[in-house]
């Protein structure tokens, strides 16, 4: 069967990175050859500059010309390979940019689908109802606070002139009490506090007894 239809080709397909690597290796090989030819040309030039005109110098010149021709061919090959490598590198950069672009597009698609699912579950009307209920609850809370902070047994409308008159009366009462002092005490309390009236004479000082035998 393999003879009729041929065997399946299992050789891996070349990649762009592999092709660039091969071209770079060829360029490196040409650089080595060019360095050798340049060294050889330098040797020929040094010898030719010291030789006199004659058959020997002409023969050496012919060899130098052949080396120079080979160098030009290698340089042309190197320039072509360098251009190929640069073109493939540009293609690789474009490929990488395309991959990054596709990755970004895929990520955006996935994000868009997720956002659509999430926002599809959100009910705008329900959110507005919640906002209205919250506002109503805030109003109820304010009314409760006002009710709890209300003062008891205090008239809301009080005349300022009445307050001034009451304050003046309190001041006069305080001054009156301070001026009366002890005279404001009831009579029966004064009698209890006063000293007894049955003592006719003030108490005498005790006499000091003299010692027996008189003074010395």
C-alpha to C-alpha distance for 123 and 126, rounded to whole angstroms: 5
Give residue 183's pLDDT. Answer: 54
C-alpha to C-alpha distance for 58 and 106, rounded to whole angstroms: 72
Which of the residue ranges 85-89, 178-182, 210-214 has the most confident prediction, judged by mean pLDDT?
Answer: 85-89
| 43 or 201, which is more confident | 43
Domain ranges across the chain = 16-148+166-172
- Rg for the chain, CA atoms, rounded: 63
C-alpha to C-alpha distance for 85 and 91, rounded to whole angstroms: 10
| 7 or 66, which is more confident | 66
Return the HEC string of 166-186: HHHHHHHHHHHHHHHHHHHCC
Q: Which long-range contacts (CB under 8 A, 24 or more apart) does 36-44 make?
A: 37/67, 37/70, 37/71, 37/74, 38/71, 40/67, 41/67, 41/68, 41/71
**97-142: pLDDT as tens digits:** 999 999 999 999 999 988 888 887 778 888 889 899 999 999 999 8
What's the first-to-final CA gap in the chain, in angstroms? Answer: 173
Give residue 87's pLDDT. Answer: 93
Give residue 2's pLDDT. Answer: 54
Helices 16-50, 55-120: inter-axial angle, 10-degree rounding: 160
How much is the pTM?
0.45
| Cα–Cα nearest to 23, from 101, 71, 84 | 84
């Amino acid at each position: 069967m393999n003879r009729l239809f041929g065997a399946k080709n299992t050789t891996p397909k070349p990649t762009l990175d592999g092709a660039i690597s091969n071209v770079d290796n060829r360029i490196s090989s040409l650089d080595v050859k060019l360095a050798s030819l340049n060294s050889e040309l330098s040797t020929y030039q040094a010898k030719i500059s010291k030789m006199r005109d004659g058959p020997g110098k002409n023969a050496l010149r012919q060899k130098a010309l052949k080396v120079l021709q080979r160098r030009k061919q290698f340089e042309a090959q190197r320039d072509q390979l360098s251009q190929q490598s640069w073109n493939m590198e540009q293609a690789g950069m474009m490929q990488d940019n395309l991959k990054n672009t596709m990755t970004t597009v895929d990520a955006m698609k996935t994000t868009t689908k997720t956002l659509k699912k999430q926002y599809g579950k959100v009910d705008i009307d329900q959110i507005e109802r919640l906002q209205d209920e919250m506002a109503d609850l805030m109003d109820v809370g304010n009314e409760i606070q006002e009710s709890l902070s209300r003062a008891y047994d205090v008239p809301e409308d009080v005349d300022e002139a009445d307050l001034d008159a009451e304050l003046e009366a309190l001041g006069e009462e305080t001054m009156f009490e301070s001026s009366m002092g002890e005279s404001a005490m009831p009579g029966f309390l004064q009698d209890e506090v006063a000293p007894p009236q049955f003592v006719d004479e003030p108490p005498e000082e005790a006499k000091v007894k003299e010692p027996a035998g008189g003074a010395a």
